[in-house]
Amino acid sequence: MKQLLTLATALFLSAFATSAFAQSYKNGDNLLNVGIGLGAYTAGGLPIGASFEKGITDQISVGGSFDFARYGYNYGGYKWNYTFMYIGARASYHAGELLNISNDKFDPYAGVSLGFRAASYKDNTGYADNYYNPYNSGLFLGLHIGSRYRFSEKFGVFGEVGYGIAALKLGLSAKF
């Protein structure tokens, strides 16, 4: 009887030990981030965006992202604006296991993105074609370091720093 009690206690404790070191991210996870950007590299506006990634291994996820920003000026009959759209592919390395993080709600990651940036300028003077646009359209390479913190199994928040449309992105995160 004493051995059975000892075995039951050991199994009970090992079940908790396993869950204490459970990964916050794993192969097959679908990850969605929706948020805003702060410190826009486009010099103005409040970027909004979303990204989706699918886990292909226990450490790597791949997917896509879309970001949009617009800012401008309207005073005394003069009006202009810049519009930016970023669309691309992204990949992330989920570093929880590497960093030996035992919190299954916390998912630190870093990654890269490659895509297309469309930048446009428009005004009501008719001279927009002659205006020098310091922002060009074309390929972009982005970098990000971030983390997700889940409040429940499915929902949480995320934060990322890096180079893309904004220096800092904050928002809501879903895992399904």
pLDDT tens profile 23-65 = 678 888 999 999 999 988 876 789 999 999 999 999 999 999 9
CA distance 20 to 1: 29
CATH of the domain at 35: 2.40.160.20
Task: List the helix and strand counts (H, then E) for the chain.
Answer: 1, 8
CA distance 141 to 165: 11
pLDDT higher for 148 or 2?
Answer: 148
Name the domain count of the chain: 1
- As a residue count, the chain comes to 176
Q: Choose among 123, 125, 99, 121: nearest CA to 110.
A: 99
Mean pLDDT calculated for residue range 62-91? 92
CA distance 106 to 95: 10
- Supply the pLDDT for residue 4: 40
- Supply the pLDDT for residue 145: 98
- Supply the pLDDT for residue 130: 60
CA distance 110 to 144: 6
CA distance 170 to 160: 7
User: Which pTM was predicted?
Assistant: 0.79
Tell me which residue range forms the domain holding 111. Answer: 2-175
Mean pLDDT calculated for residue range 14-20? 38
CB 138 within 8 Å of CB 8:
no
How do residues 87-146 score in pLDDT, each as one tens digit? 999 999 999 989 998 888 999 999 999 999 998 888 887 776 666 666 778 999 999 999
pLDDT higher for 136 or 154?
Answer: 154
pLDDT higher for 130 or 169?
Answer: 169
Which uninterrupted H or E stretch holds 3? Answer: helix 2-20
Contacts of 9 (CB under 8 A, 6+ apart): none
- Supply the pLDDT for residue 7: 39
